[in-house]
């Protein structure tokens, strides 16, 4: 393997030739490819991580571009799924690595398979429910993962090595009551800074240096950086008792309200017709727009985004029940 493009890593005492070779043989999954995930993916691709899997359920919108540095206006105009847009960019950044895109909602049915297939998992999600799910899967399968979250000008990150460091539920013991995505805005630099710390933690773990062993809280506006010591909790549901309640699929419904409070996500139990067929059918009753791998359908009040796997995001339906009814009416399952 040619280490030429990584010469500045090879020069670093912290990585060196041996460390770089380890990175090139490593694999990572980035779950959620928005402000955090896009930056993490770019950094890890440039660092030469051998295989990256990018997982995201959403598509690129113009309002994402202020903070999601991997995407551009063309991606937003084409409504390209974030995982696909990320994969295309990452392949251009580093053609010597393997990049895989998964346009999917991470839930109990697929999280364990994702976690088992890589060496480390990076959190680019925007809600606690998915983070607890990742935590459970990683503790169960003994895989390290790096938690990261940002809001406004602040952020927090922690590397988690199962049964060595504290886990997310040692840190935040209570299960969230629902999605906790914030609507108070975010400064993109808070995200890129936390993402940099997450990527650094991943590299530390992959080269064998180990996790930092503490959480880091920072505020990019004031410039404060505060390390937080987190002790393992012997009573922790996940890493203490081995009870992985978030992996229980009955906790996850196939229809649920997302963090903006007005969008309902529907995941169908069986395959749907092709988007081409759906577009023809729905074009008779409303306005249809085709993006890459997605279809947008608008009636007078509601808007429905439908992905190839049948997953739909329905806005302004008013309730989960009505969203389900609309899905049944228009998509036909
Ligand atoms: Zn724990």
Statement: residue 59 has pLDDT above 80:
yes
CATH number of the structural domain 4-250? 3.40.50.720
3-state secondary structure of 103: strand
Place of tokens 């773990």: 205
The rounded Å distance from CA 155 to ligand 1 centre is 21
CA of 166 to the centre of ligand 1 (A): 5
* Cα-to-centroid distance, 172 and ligand 1 (Å): 9
Structure tokens at 209: 């240096």
According to DSSP, residue 27 is labeled E
Q: Which residues pair with 81 in a beta bridge?
A: 59
pLDDT, residue 176, reads 46
For 77-98, letters b (16+ CB in 10 Å) and e give ebbbbbbbbbbebbbebbeebe
Cα 6 to middle of ligand 1, angstroms? 36
Tens digit of each residue's pLDDT (9 = 90 or more) over 132-159: 999 999 999 999 999 999 999 999 999 9
What are the residue ranges spanned by the domains of the chain?
A: 4-250, 254-330
Q: What is the DSSP letter of 278?
A: H
Share of the chain above pLDDT 70, in %: 94
* Count of Cβ atoms closer than 10 Å to residue 30 Cβ: 34
Catalytic, 236? Answer no
Catalytic residue, candidates 33, 138, 167, 181: 181
**What percent of the residues of the chain are helix, what percent strand, and what percent coil, each to the nearest 5?**
35, 20, 40
Of 180 and 43, the structure prediction assigns the larger pLDDT to: 43
Ligand 1 centroid distance, CA of 237 (Å): 7
Domains 4-250 and 254-330 share a fold: no
Question: Which two structure tokens, joined as six digits, stand for 311?
Answer: 């997953």
254-330 topology per CATH: TATA-Binding Protein (3.30.310)
pLDDT digits (tens, 9 = 90+) for 174-230: 654 433 444 568 999 999 999 999 999 999 999 999 999 999 999 999 999 999 999
235 CA distance to ligand 1 middle (Å): 8
Please tell me the distance from the alpha carbon of residue 215 to that of residue 171, in angstroms, as a whole number: 9
């Amino acid at each position: 393997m040619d280490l030429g493009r990584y010469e500045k890593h090879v020069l670093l005492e912290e990585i060196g030739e041996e460390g770089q070779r380890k990175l090139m043989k490593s694999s990572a999954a980035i779950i959620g490819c928005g402000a955090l995930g896009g930056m993490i993916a770019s950094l890890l691709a440039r660092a030469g991580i051998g295989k990256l899997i990018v997982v995201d359920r959403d598509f690129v919108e113009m309002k994402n571009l202020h903070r999601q540095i991997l995407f551009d206006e063309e991606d937003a105009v084409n409504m390209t799924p974030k995982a696909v847009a990320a994969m295309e960019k990452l392949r251009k950044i580093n053609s010597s690595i393997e990049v895989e895109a998964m346009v999917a909602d991470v839930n109990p049915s697929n999280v364990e398979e994702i976690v088992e297939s890589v060496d480390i998992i990076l959190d680019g999600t925007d809600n606690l429910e998915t983070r607890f799910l990742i935590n459970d899967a990683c503790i169960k399968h003994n895989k390290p993962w790096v938690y990261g979250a940002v809001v406004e000008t602040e952020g927090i990150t922690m590397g988690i090595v199962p049964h060595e460091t504290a886990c997310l539920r040692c840190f935040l013991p209570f299960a969230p009551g629902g999605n906790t995505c914030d609507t108070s805005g975010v400064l993109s630099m808070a995200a890129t800074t936390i993402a940099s710390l997450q990527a650094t933690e991943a590299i530390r773990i992959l080269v064998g240096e180990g996790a930092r062993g503490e959480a880091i809280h920072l505020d990019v506006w004031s410039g404060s950086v505060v390390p937080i010591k987190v002790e393992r909790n012997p009573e922790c549901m996940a890493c203490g008792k081995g009870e992985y309640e978030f992996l229980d699929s009955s906790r996850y419904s196939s229809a649920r309200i997302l963090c903006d409070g007005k969008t309902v996500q529907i995941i169908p139990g069986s395959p749907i017709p092709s988007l081409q067929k759906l577009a023809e059918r729905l074009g008779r009753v409303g306005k249809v727009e085709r993006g890459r791998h997605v279809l947008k359908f608008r009636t007078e009040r509601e808007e429905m985004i439908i992905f190839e796997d049948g997953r739909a995001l329905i806005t302004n339906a008013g309730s989960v029940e009505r969203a389900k009814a609309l899905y049944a009416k228009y998509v036909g399952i």
